[in-house]
A = this chain, B = another copy of it.
Amino acid sequence: MKPKITLKDIARELDVSISTVSKALKNSKEISKDTKDRIKAFAKFYNYRPNNIALSLKNRRTKNIGVVIPDIVHHFFTTVFRGIEKYANSMGYNVIICISDESFDKEVINMEMLANGSIDGFILSLSAETQQKNDYTHLKELLDQGIPIVLFDRVTDEIACDKVVLNDKGISKQAVEHFIDKGAKKVALITTEEFFNVSESRREGYLEGLKDKGVSVDESLILTLPHGLDHTEHITTFFSNNKVDAVLCVNEIFAVQCMSIIQQLGYHIPNDISIIGFTDGILSKYSSPKLTTVAQHGEIMGAKAAKFLIDRMESLEMEEAPFKTEVINATLVKRGSTIN
């Protein structure tokens, strides 16, 4: 057992003051070459490393950033997180992660814990419950205390801060137009309940895409699936009752579920029915046929969010800089589930 060595230890052993040691290790020219050499050699030999906590206290910055996401098992968040981690790490920051589990209370409690000195700033995607309650006082308080926040994907207009979002609306529109361009007449949308702003945007894009192509909206072609339940039955009855040519799903799980049900019903994909899903995850790559999806470029989003945050934290007191919103362009990855 060889416990960590401190400046004090070095000072004692070498019979100099703590300040001298500190300065010597920082190569200060206040200290003579001889003394510096002695101290450096000793420090190296005992593998001295400054204590991060003491530094944090002194500098009043931790070089930690807090990431709060609703769910880590979800592919999209995972990729965003990876982007955050990579960029943050390259800039010398560590990442403390909290999972809100879609719960308002967890989001609040975790953030308050971290805000008491553990981190210098937050990157956050709102929990479902927070979006439902529409209560953002916890975020406002943190901003009030001077702690910077960057919101991504699940954002809100209520909070003034840097944001990184996807062009959900635009890409949905594009997907719908792609369907129609390839001959589809009846385009369905399979979506979730409305308190996610992303679902909302995707629905808008869907509607706009139809409108632009001069196709009238048929509300019965929009299937809203309840949260958390098994959807097989819903989907089966939907496709039994409606003749559709193309389906846009707001996530890849819905999409592959639709695919197998559609195939069981005897339709051919993509000849009879085309499908596009959101989230270019593992399911899309290994389904058969492979799924055409909207790539959300999570890693890019994460990196951008991290850059926003770090820029703001490091531009000392340049907090006056106006808040920016970066729109990441989703792209359509065309695979076997559509006619391309």
**Contact assessment for A114 and B85 in the assembled complex, using a CB-CB cutoff below 8 Å:** no
Nearest opposing residue in chain B for A52, CB measure: B117
In the assembled complex, the CB of A52 is this many whole angstroms from the nearest CB of chain B, namely 4
In the bound complex, CA of A94 to CA of B65 (Å): 12
A149 at the binding interface (Cβ < 8 Å): no
How many interface residues does A have (CB within 8 Å)?
52
With a cutoff of 8 Å between Cβ atoms, the chain B residues found around residue A53 in the complex are 53, 56-57, 62, 117-118
Interface: A183 (CB within 8 A):
no
Task: Give 1 or 0 for each of A87-127: 1 = CB within 8 Å of chain B CB.
Answer: 00100001111110000000000101111111000000000
Give the complex CA separation of A183 and B118 in angstroms.
59
Contact of B116 with A52 in the complex, beta carbons under 8 Å: yes
The answer to whether the Cβ of A29 comes within 8 Å of any Cβ in the partner chain is no
The distance from the CB of A324 to the nearest CB of chain B, in whole angstroms, is 20
Q: Are A96 and B94 neighbours in the complex by a CB distance under 8 Å?
A: yes
- State the number of copies, please: 2
- Give bound CA distance, A283 to B256, whole Å: 10
A225 to chain B, nearest CB (A): 15
A4 interface residue per 8 A CB criterion: yes
Is the Cβ of B78 less than 8 Å from the Cβ of A72? Answer: yes
Distance, CA A64 to CA B94, complexed state (A): 12
Q: Say whether, besides A52-B116, A52-B117, A117-B54, A97 and B98 are in contact (CB < 8 Å).
A: no
A139 to nearest B CB, angstroms? 14
Task: Assess the B62–A73 pair: CB atoms within 8 A.
Answer: no
Within 8 A of B (CB), among A19-39: none
Q: Does A226 contact B (CB under 8 A)?
A: no
A2 interface hit (Cβ, 8 Å): yes
Docked-complex contact A85 and B110, CB < 8 angstroms: no
Interface residues of A in 289-332 (CB under 8 A from B): none
Residues of A within 8 A of B (CB): 1-4, 49-54, 56-57, 62, 64, 72-73, 75, 78-79, 81-82, 85-86, 89, 94-99, 110, 112-118, 144-146, 253, 256-257, 260, 263, 281-283, 286-288
- Further 17 A-B residue pairs, CB within 8 A, beyond A51-B116, A263-B288: A1-B145, A3-B145, A4-B145, A49-B112, A52-B113, A52-B118, A53-B53, A53-B56, A72-B81, A75-B282, A89-B98, A94-B96, A94-B113, A95-B97, A96-B96, A257-B286, A260-B286
Q: Pull 30 A–B residue pairs with CB atoms less than 8 Å apart, ordered by A.
A: A2-B144, A3-B146, A4-B116, A49-B112, A51-B116, A51-B117, A52-B113, A52-B117, A53-B53, A53-B118, A64-B118, A72-B72, A72-B78, A72-B85, A86-B99, A89-B98, A94-B98, A94-B113, A94-B114, A95-B97, A96-B96, A97-B97, A253-B282, A253-B286, A263-B288, A282-B282, A282-B283, A283-B283, A283-B286, A286-B287
